[in-house]
Structure 1
Amino acid sequence: MMLNVPHNTPSWVKYSVPFMLMALIAYCTWGFAHRLCYDQLFKRLGHQSVAIGLICVVTLLDALLIVVWCQIKIIGPGRLPKVPPFMIMAEGDEMIRSVVPPLCYQSGPNGEPIWCNSCGSVKTDRAHHSSNLNYCVPRFDHTCVLLCAVIGKDNYRLFLQFVMYMAVLAVIVVVSICVFLKQIRKDLDHNLIAILVITIWGYIVSTAMLCTHFMCIMKNRTTIEIMGRKKNHGKLSYCCYYSSKDGCRYVVQLERDERSNLWRKRSTWRNFSEFLGSNVIFWFIPLGFPSSSHQDLEMNNDSGYRTLPTILGRYYESYGDESKEIIEKKIAENQYVTKFYAYGDRYRLIN
């Protein structure tokens, strides 16, 4: 579920994988409901209520998976609003724009923000350009092959719910077959054997996925950040930080562990709420909410210049307190690449 789909792959190939998955689920549901519940439990063993209950539960979970998958596709991962270059140069320069530089942002060695040529926009922290969608996705996580969907900030919770309900469906099927295995072993159908193997595999994969993503959430990391941490072992990474002590900006080089822990919060609850929302009930209710555009929000400082949180809204990513302390310590020890005064910092609001 974490493999990337090449952007030039034909649409029918992309959609064939999720439909094959749904066909496999449909086959397992048919075999479980017909061969076990109806033929064995209902007709042969006389457990009518158990058979009907299992059929209803499994059918409901199947419908739930389809609904969640449709929401993942319809809502999408989110689309990063276009962000003009930060106000680094003096007023009147060609490079001047109306965006006040944020307190801290990932940058190049000279302090310039990361730029996306395809979108013609600043590529803000944790956003990545999706070649499949042809725009930058906020908090890009991965491209899911089995669901043919790009997973980002808006549909991440739905993706986890899909995996969770897949695991629940698999464990119900496996446990039900194993419980009645002794009673039906003489009349064991080859379809039930195939279904048992498929659902055991599905349970192992989905449970492993859940555990992996829960660990990522606890550390406030995404899948692409975990993969990048291993892939870009020797790649240099920089962060431009505004110091309120002298009003100067410092470009600090980040080590691999420092880079991967930039957004980690001390509170586990804060990490989970950033990924799954603050309402625990909706962690389990498969209902997504499309995000509204943030580009038309009002200005939020007296100068009339927009700030990055104003433009991004809920897509804005805040750094962890420990990361800020590490960066300030590096600055205090003169462990920085360069420093400069950004013209736009005179308009920023110190929160």
Structure 2
Amino acid sequence: MGFYVPRWQPPSWVKYSAPFMLLALITYCTWGFAHRLCYDQLFKKLGRQSVAIGLICVVTFLDALLVVLWCQIKIIGPGRLPKVPPYMILPEDSVDYRSSETTTMIPSLIPPLCYQSGPNGQPIWCNDCASVKTDRAHHSTDLNYCVPRFDHRCVLLCAVIGKDNYRLFLQFVMYMALLAVIVVVSICVFLRQIRKDLDDNLIAILAITIWGYVMSAAMLSTHILCIMKNRTTVEVMARRKAHSKLSYCCYYNVKDGCRYVVQLERDESSDLWRKRPLWRNFSDFLGPNVLFWFIPIGFPNSKHRELEANNDGYPTLPTILGRYYESYGDEGKEMIEKKIAENQYVTKFYAYGDRYHLIN
């Protein structure tokens, strides 16, 4: 006989306390650095007025920059996946696609050439959103909707990180590491000259900033490696799990007009999105303009177009998703085609909507 142990849910104030604790640490370190080192030691005792003023200005500017980035991460958000209607696997007259909110028919969608599916070839469905869960999208329980290219939930910033605010999050980590480097190097450079007057606040600040630099630098390098391989944090964590769920991919073979459902191993599913050359992976995550990789300005995603149709009157996935649309990399497509050529597939079938791929 087992016992049910209810899962502890922390109160909402605990969830929102982490950013304010981080802000308090940054404020304390800035005060101690500016007052105890820059003013008391450099400005008054050592006569290095220009160095003291310069350091105070740089550290204060970076502090303000971190606050601005955090506000943008929260305001812009991770992005919200538009509602995607069911794929046209069977003829429309044989399936009753009705909305749960109205009695109107939902226009079925021409299946994309390749999509992640179940073992029977059906796309992944989100019951909460009443929508197809497209590739790399995950449902966020905090936001109660599906997030495109869901990366992770940052506890420290109390924010969900997705496609829209990922670049801002990476900039936050980068400028946090830069701030910690400036504080640590400045204290270490003048350590011999101020060792007699070294106070407990500076020792505490040095320890905090060293810890902050190690954490932020490790996080930054980890995310850069993920970008190089075109992986999200969720995909990396799933790859490390010993008993991760099986994943499947439904692929449209142009040669015979048939769809093949291929089972993917952990390493194979995480490499689906890697592109060549390496630049395309960085462009996917950070945008095509290198200048904005470092400029801390976010751009909210423009409103997606409504269900635009092709010449036959059926909407397509790229027109619904806009820039949220994810395309497989060259290596992923080659891997899937190789499995099909070697008859390593779960099942195959003909989808009714694929006839429009042949027409177009």
Q: TM-score, normalization: structure 1? A: 0.95
Q: Report how many aligned residue pairs link the two structures.
A: 345
Note the alpha carbon deviations across 1:53-101, whole angstroms, 9 max, x for none: 0000000000000000000000000000010110001131224642100
Specify which of 327, 339, 350 is matched with residue 341 of structure 1.
350
Amino acid of the residue matched to residue 130 of structure 1? S
Compared CA separation, residues 107 and 7, structure 1 to 2 (3 A): farther
Paired position in structure 1 for 2:337: 328
Contact 1:265 1:321 in 2 (8 A): yes
Deviation of residue 246 (structure 1)? 1.0
Q: Structure 1 unaligned runs (5+)?
A: 1-5
Contact 2:226 2:232 in 1 (8 A): yes
SS in 2 for 1:92: helix
Compared CA separation, residues 326 and 255, structure 1 to 2 (3 A): same
Paired position in structure 2 for 1:308: 317
SS in 1 for 2:230: coil
Q: Structure 2 unaligned runs (5+)?
A: 1-6, 98-106
Compared CA separation, residues 337 and 205, structure 1 to 2 (3 A): same
Amino acid of the residue matched to residue 126 of structure 1? R
Note the alpha carbon deviations across 1:301-333, whole angstroms, 9 max, x for none: 211111111100100100011111111111112
Q: Are 2:259 and 1:246 equivalent residues in the alignment?
A: no
Residue correspondence of structure 1 range 94-113 to structure 2 within 5 A: 94-95=95-96, 97-113=107-123
Paired position in structure 2 for 1:122: 132
Specify which of 205, 216, 222 is matched with residue 206 of structure 1.
216
Paired position in structure 2 for 1:89: 90
State the distance in 2 between where 1:17 and 1:87 align. 45
Compared CA separation, residues 233 and 200, structure 1 to 2 (3 A): same
SS in 2 for 1:154: coil
State the distance in 2 between where 1:288 and 1:143 align. 19
Compared CA separation, residues 206 and 184, structure 1 to 2 (3 A): same
SS in 2 for 1:160: helix
Note the alpha carbon deviations across 1:91-127, whole angstroms, 9 max, x for none: 3122464210000001111100001111111000000
Contact 1:87 1:95 in 2 (8 A): no
The alignment-based identity, stated in percent, is 81
State the distance in 1 between where 2:252 and 2:307 align. 25
Paired position in structure 2 for 1:52: 53
Amino acid of the residue matched to residue 309 of structure 1? P
Residue correspondence of structure 1 range 57-76 to structure 2 within 5 A: 57-76=58-77
State the distance in 2 between where 1:160 and 1:237 align. 28
Paired position in structure 1 for 2:188: 178
Q: TM-score, normalization: structure 2? A: 0.93
Contact 1:248 1:341 in 2 (8 A): yes
